[in-house]
Amino acid sequence: MTDVLHPALWPTAESGRAPLPAATDVLVVGGGIAGTAMAYYLAKAGVEVTLVERGELNREASGTNAGSFHLQLAIHQLSGQGAAADRERLLAEARLSLKAFAMWQELGEELDGPLDVHLTGGWMVAETAEQLRTLRDKYELERLAGIETEVVTGAELRRRAPFLAETVVGATYCPLEGHANPLIVAPLYALRAVQHGAVIRTRTEVTGIDVVAATGARRFTVHTDAGSIDAHRVVDCAGAWSGELAAMAGLRLPVRSEGLHVNVTEPRPRLLTPMVQHIGRRLTLKQTEQNTFIIGGGWPTPEAARPHRYPTSWHSAAGSTAVAVSVVPALADVRVVRTWSGVIVFTDDFSPIVGESERVPGFHACVSSTGFTFSPLLARRLATYMASPSPDRRFPERYALDRTTP
């Protein structure tokens, strides 16, 4: 495996701020995991591609999340109407998660670098009878999709997960869940993209998009604070800001964003190997290889207008740790040593936004709420379609960019 930590392998900061090319076939907007993966797979397929990022690579959602793989259907995927009401969508997402996980298992070899992929298994807990019913409902969907899970209660749960509180009445266990290092994946995608010929420019913010023509070699002129670039195709990988970018081309994406909290504790002797999630309360909890605990779950942060980052807040930091302690009481005297804010994108109908707009031909998007898990797979599929369009490679209608655009 290549020593990717060697400084000589990486492009310099100055190269990322060189002048923009005058034109490109594909312009990818966004330097997180979706954007860098798009640049890599397109460049690898021989497509001319330029990526622009208004800040630095991997500084927003892709680099500030907890790095979890979500194979079990999670709280943020549920509409609140019950698993039965969401049956077809949840089945499709469960099947997609299996394919995404299989890809993650091979991604380190593909990118020739250490992604710190760890298969730990994961518990999803319930503290009420209603939550336990939800676990049983989604277990049936996961079973139909081919995801290995089991519902565990009573003495068997106490034996297998003695660290869980007495208030936990049941849990589902999935042996295939785990995590990777969110600090390395997107940068490594970017490195390999450049090695395949992609151009990457940072500190380059898109300020406007002119739709020049529906057909022809150059459909768009994209204006940035570092100059303008003509592009035949554009891919919106801006995540939480994907709606703002699409609006510049006259499209409305069904997205909203939220700031979120992550807390890290001091190290303690090994307590948890599997990840712990909650079906009814915001919680993701894992113990790292350094024996620190990472406490997440999407607790919100106050909004902040750019250029400021979302601030941390006592309410969310305390709230997320309180849920963690209520589920795993042994954490009660563990000190939180660091907290930071990130951001997550949600779609109004819970489905990803992937593919090409019919209203604005040439404008594509790759946006997913469970972006760290799904983005590599969705980006590879979209890049394959863009490099060699084919009807059998089109995405489901529920992924369509234009689904809420009048």
pTM: 0.89
| 190 and 336, same domain (yes or no) | no
Neighbouring residues of 121: CB distance < 8 A, sequence distance ≥ 6: 173, 174, 175, 176, 177, 178, 273, 274, 275
What percent of the chain clears pLDDT 90, i.e. is strictly above it? 58
**Residue 298: predicted pLDDT:** 80
> Is 9's pLDDT higher than 90?
no
In a domain, 28, yes or no: yes
Please give the residue that has the higher pLDDT: either 404 or 116.
116
pLDDT tens column, 33-72:
999 999 999 999 999 999 999 999 988 888 777 777 777 8
Total number of domains in the chain: 2
Flag the least confident range among 102-111, 122-131, 222-231, 294-303: 294-303
Q: What is the mean pLDDT of residues 187-207?
A: 96
Please give the residue that has the higher pLDDT: either 78 or 199.
199
In a domain, 78, yes or no: no
pLDDT tens column, 152-174:
999 999 999 999 999 999 999 99
CA torsion, points 387, 391, 395, 400, in degrees to nearest 10?
100
- Structural domain harbouring 40: 13-62+183-254+349-404
**CA-based diameter of the chain, in Å?**
67
Please give the residue that has the higher pLDDT: either 104 or 5.
104
> Is 81's pLDDT higher than 60?
no
**Residue 216: predicted pLDDT:** 66
Q: Which of 347, 373, 391 is the last residue of a domain?
A: 347
> Is 384's pLDDT higher than 90?
yes
Q: Which of 347, 362, 394 is the last residue of a domain?
A: 347
pLDDT tens column, 326-359:
999 999 999 999 998 888 888 888 889 999 999 9
Long-range contacts of 12-20 (CB under 8 A, 24+ apart): 13/202, 16/200, 16/201, 16/202, 16/203, 17/201, 17/202, 17/203, 17/204, 17/226, 18/201, 19/226, 19/227, 20/50, 20/52, 20/201, 20/204, 20/224, 20/226, 20/227, 20/228, 20/229
Measuring CA to CA, how many Å separate 16 from each of 3, 145, 151?
Answer: 22, 43, 49
CATH number, domain with residue 298: 3.30.9.10
In a domain, 81, yes or no: no
| 353 and 341, same domain (yes or no) | no
